[in-house]
Chain A
Amino acid sequence: MSEAPAAPPTASADVRPGPGQLDLLLAPPRARTGWRVLPARVLAMCVVELQKLRHDRTELYTRAVQPALWLLVFGETFTRIKAIPTGGTPYIDYLAPGIIAQSAMFIAIFYGIMIIWERDAGILTKLLVTPTPRAALIAGKAFAAGVKALVQAVVVIVIAALLGVAMTWNPLRLLGVVVAVVLGSAFFSCLSMTIAGIVLTRDRLMGIGQAITMPLFFASNALYPVAIMPGWLQTVSKMNPLSYQVDALRGLLLGTHAHLALDYAVLVAAAVAGIAAASSLLGRLAR
């Protein structure tokens, strides 16, 4: 860095680097060990995700269209006809946390496509040759998906606020929202990466992603309370992590009755199980 006067190398010319310029590249960095590896890798992946979002915000805008329509069209209409028993809350308020969770899930569920793309491009291959245990790599990717979903959630919350949804601005509760969104997205991105590890091609993953997102969405409490569902659907909803995420978001943002301890326990367990499943299948993508 300090040897700037000695012919700064240019992009086009062939510059033979002087020995002085490379002094730092002679000594390998000191290795992190033990528990420090995981947070460092997660941070590295999240930073990359934010950098990409900063360079190209198109996806952020296009993905805001669907939740905006859900709130604007579906939400406003069903608020008017009062068909869904929400226990006194205006339907659009009731719906908003569900749409936050849904848009976060939609982002996460297609994250596996990115993994396959990165694999085809050689990016994943190269990351697998770094001193990063597979579980740490998957955890990094999962939380990067969480960060991306979080940015999306902020957009949806702003849209909801503009539509007059009365949400809390209590910072502690908002922190709880952040944790719930990140954990839920970590699970759904791991689900997607697990499927990616099984099917191995983008086309198949696209098909499966399309096939499972809507059932996950409808078989949850995002649009209507579990109580009005038929019995079999209630059972499905109870096994769907999205229901627990929506329950937590609703409780935190609107102050409705929620089972926060159970919700977070389920979300943490689901995220851990997802990371375990996806990292055990990552080897198939390395081949």
Chain B
Amino acid sequence: MTPDESPEEICAETTDATLGGAPRTGAPGPAPAPNASDAVLCRGLRYAFGETRAVDGVDLSVRAGEVFGLLGPNGAGKTTAIRCITTLLPVPAGMVRVFGHDAAKERMAVRRLLGYVPQQLSADAGLTGRENVTLFARVFDVSRRERAARVDQALAAVGLTEAAGRLAKTYSGGMIRRLELAQALVSAPRLLMLDEPTIGLDPIARTSVWDHINAVRDATGMTVLVTTHYMDEADQYCDRVALMHHGRIRALGTPDDLKSALRTRRRAAPAPATTGTSAHPYPVSTSHPHFSASPLSSSPPPSAAPSRSSDAAPTLEDVFRDVAGSGLDEQSGDFRDVRSTRRTAHRVG
């Protein structure tokens, strides 16, 4: 509701409707106050690649200890936002803090708090699992005395003890993801940042990756910031989610709050399922939702979509379509995004 966001009434509406009674509302809206207990705090974050405004004014706070999901289709700006928080990209406008440390000025301090798993498969195929993890123990200054024990614990935490001596190129996609998780865990990060951790994985491997994330989080109490375009995963595993589209956050809250808010809005509107609202004529019956087509999807199959009524329990995907408006399929993700996503999926599969 800062002046420059005034055209985005949807964003404010959703937040108000969702979190009206909640004690802490987070972003967007009035910029959150700096709080030492916030794992991540973004205020007015902007980043542009030339003319393309990838991140266009993001206000966000991730509370310490929660699993926070940043959702959106390809090209929504999730990865760019993550790369600003990880200090990979400079912060040209706005403010980013990680546990109170400024990501623009205290890069090394921020990096020491982070465990980062990028979207690509970042384990080195020419090294064994143990060597991959040991490299990260070394670059995070784990002392020689502790190194072997720490590496073993990280490998055990993701269930790779037995495969540790094998070259990573012999691993399956799910095992590589878990190896990357071990690489991130070996430095005892307070914030684990996962960019599309389950992209291209089969359902069993996806569940396994999430089980390990949750187990480690339960044991260590670390904060997890995850981006995904699988709405069902976010619904199942995230404490709170932010829906991102065209570089802005369109809704933020717990999955249940967002869904019940949509149900309330649909009841209030006269004929929401057939015509859409005048403010944002979204295609309710889109039969190919490309960004959440997943085997685990809890949303109704495409054939059921046209008959969806305001009484049916909305899914996060419905919430997303509601707040994102039209043109979802045409505008999401340029050629480069899609190519890199497919390449990752190819390497995993």
- Chain A residues with CB under 8 Å of chain B are 1, 8-19, 21-32, 40-41, 43-44, 47-48, 51-52, 55-56, 120-123, 125-133, 286-287
Contact = CB atoms under 8 A, between A and B. Distances in A.
Nearest to A128: B88
Contacts of B216: 17, 22, 25
B186 A25 contact: yes
B230 interface: no
Contacts of B100: none
B160 interface: yes
B15 to A, nearest CB: 31
B89 A17 contact: no
A122 B127 contact: no
Given A22-B153, A28-B188, A29-B142, A14 B208 contact: yes
B141 A32 contact: yes
Contacts of B146: 24, 29
Contact of A28 (B88, B126, B156, B187): B187
Contacts of B187: 28-29, 130
Contacts of A55: 126-128, 167
Interface in B148-197: 149-150, 152-154, 156-157, 159-163, 167, 175, 180, 183, 185-190
B88 A121 contact: no
Given A44-B139, A56-B126, A121-B121, A129 B116 contact: yes
Which 8 pairs from chain A and chain B are nearest by CB? Answer: A122-B120, A122-B122, A44-B138, A11-B163, A29-B142, A122-B118, A9-B159, A130-B139
Contacts of B48: none
B150 A129 contact: no
B150 A25 contact: yes
A131 B159 contact: no
Contacts of A132: 139
A131 B107 CA distance: 8
B131 interface: yes
Nearest to A10: B162
Given A9-B159, A26-B220, A131-B139, 18 more contacts: A9-B156, A10-B162, A11-B161, A12-B159, A14-B207, A15-B159, A22-B216, A25-B157, A25-B220, A44-B135, A44-B138, A44-B139, A121-B120, A122-B122, A126-B116, A127-B139, A129-B116, A130-B111
Nearest to A27: B188
Contacts of B127: 48, 51-52, 55
A144 to B, nearest CB: 12
Interface of B: 86-89, 108, 111-114, 116-124, 126-128, 131, 135-143, 146, 149-150, 152-154, 156-157, 159-163, 167, 175, 180, 183, 185-190, 207-208, 211-212, 215-216, 219-220
Given A51-B127, A128-B88, A26 B188 contact: yes
B161 A31 contact: no
B220 A125 contact: no
A17 B126 contact: no
Contact of A24 (B122, B153, B207): B153
B315 to A, nearest CB: 26
Contacts of B153: 1, 21-25
B122 A121 contact: yes
Given A121-B120, A122-B121, A128-B88, A14 B212 contact: yes
A243 to B, nearest CB: 34
A222 B298 CA distance: 68
Given A31-B141, A55-B167, A130-B139, A25 B88 contact: no
B131 A51 contact: yes
A19 B215 CA distance: 9
A43 B138 contact: yes
B101 to A, nearest CB: 12
Find the residue from B137, B140, B152, B183 having the highest chain A CB count within 10 A.
B140
B310 to A, nearest CB: 39
Residue in A11, A41, A55, A132 whose Cβ sees the most chain B Cβ within 10 Å: A11
A41 B139 CA distance: 6
A245 B211 CA distance: 55
A21 B155 CA distance: 10
B281 to A, nearest CB: 36
Nearest to B180: A126
Contact of A25 (B86, B89, B154): B154
Given A25-B188, A48-B135, A51-B131, A19 B219 contact: yes
